[in-house]
Amino acid sequence: MWSAFSRFGGLVAARVMGAPLWRSDGHGLGIALATLAFMLFSTMDLLGKWLSADCSIPQMMLFNAGFSLVPATILAWRTGGFGQLKTDRLGAHLLRSACSLIATFAAMTGFSLMPMADVYALLFTTPLLITALAVPLLGEQVGWRRWSAIIVGFAGVLIVLQPGAMPLGPGAFAAVASAVASACSIILVRRLSSSESTASIALYPNLAIALAMAVWSLMTWTPMSLGQMAVAAVAGLAGGTALMLLVAAYRRAAAAVVAPFQYSQMLWGVLFGYVAFGDVPAGGVVLGGGIVVASGLFILYREVILAEDARPADRPAPAATAGAQASV
């Protein structure tokens, strides 16, 4: 279930995927690809939640990561061959893989215990955490506007969790842990992206998690029917395909245009949760989730403003892109 760590902010994706913030060609296609990608991520979450009733999380992660390797391998082959997977930073890749494993396991635990919309409301704190962690870990400067957005966003989290009004269950703690681990994973992506290929950044965590879960699953294996195996395989293929589509989206459209569409997963979460499990989000989840989303969008907007200020003066932003950014 890669959505837990693949939901990253626009500027992060721009740096990793090599998409300039001021690129204007292909916006329509980029948006279409991103919308499909985030729908597939939510589909993967839905299938994982359905399987969690009968299957252990390690074996679901094994199937997800294993079948996600198929699109990731295709990506490596189509974008320069397997020579680009050579690395001198194996330790950093392993550390990121560990963060991704924790994020994925925690997210799947959250989805198995809570409605999808509730989990998404908490997972969407990842961009806020990335901005906060970028100060001590990357030495980046964060102004008072973005700090204010972070504080407001976490106020939204408190509205979702309603501490004191109801006991906080393990599902909520798992979702928050997934968001923290996802943020750490993406911070490492930002470090790795200076020297590593997109294919290696996408493939190594899948491979590491598949190997780790193969060992873990031997101790926790629950018999699966052929139908359950097929569903787990489809979930993995959906996640891997979604990642490839997201790479293509950020290469065809400005990150500021594409990134906000990740929040469409909240809509998919509400729809899938209601149709498949009869879940109706509580008012606090809707209000708090909306605050978290608004805070994330504001941080993205400030990232774009700062990136535009740092852009070379001889590369003016096309009018179409400027208009799109202003609408974020």
pLDDT tens digits, one per residue of 257-313: 677 778 888 889 889 999 999 988 888 888 988 888 888 888 877 776 666 666 554
pLDDT at 266: 85
Question: What is the dihedral angle through the alpha carbons of 154, 158, 163, 167, rounded to the nearest 10 degrees?
Answer: -100
Cβ atoms 106, 177 nearer than 8 A: yes
Dist. CA 23–CA 320, nearest whole Å? 10
Q: What is the pLDDT of residues 8-54, one digit of tens each?
A: 333 344 444 444 443 444 578 888 888 898 999 999 999 999 999 88
pLDDT at 255: 63
Locate the domains of the chain by residue range: 3-326
Q: What is the pLDDT of residues 169-203, one digit of tens each?
A: 899 999 999 999 988 988 888 788 778 887 788 78
Dist. CA 177–CA 293, nearest whole Å? 18
Residue with the larger pLDDT of the pair 132 and 247:
132
pLDDT at 110: 94
Name the residue among 201, 219, 250, 192 with its Cα closest to residue 19.
250
Q: What is the pLDDT of residues 172-181, one digit of tens each?
A: 999 999 999 9
For residue 21, give every residue at least 6 positions away whose Cβ sits within 8 Å of its Cβ, in sequence order, or none: 10, 11, 14, 254, 255, 256, 304, 307, 308, 311
pLDDT at 7: 43
| Three-state secondary-structure class, residue 314 | coil
Dist. CA 257–CA 250, nearest whole Å? 9
Cβ atoms 255, 34 nearer than 8 A: no
Q: What is the pTM of this model?
A: 0.78
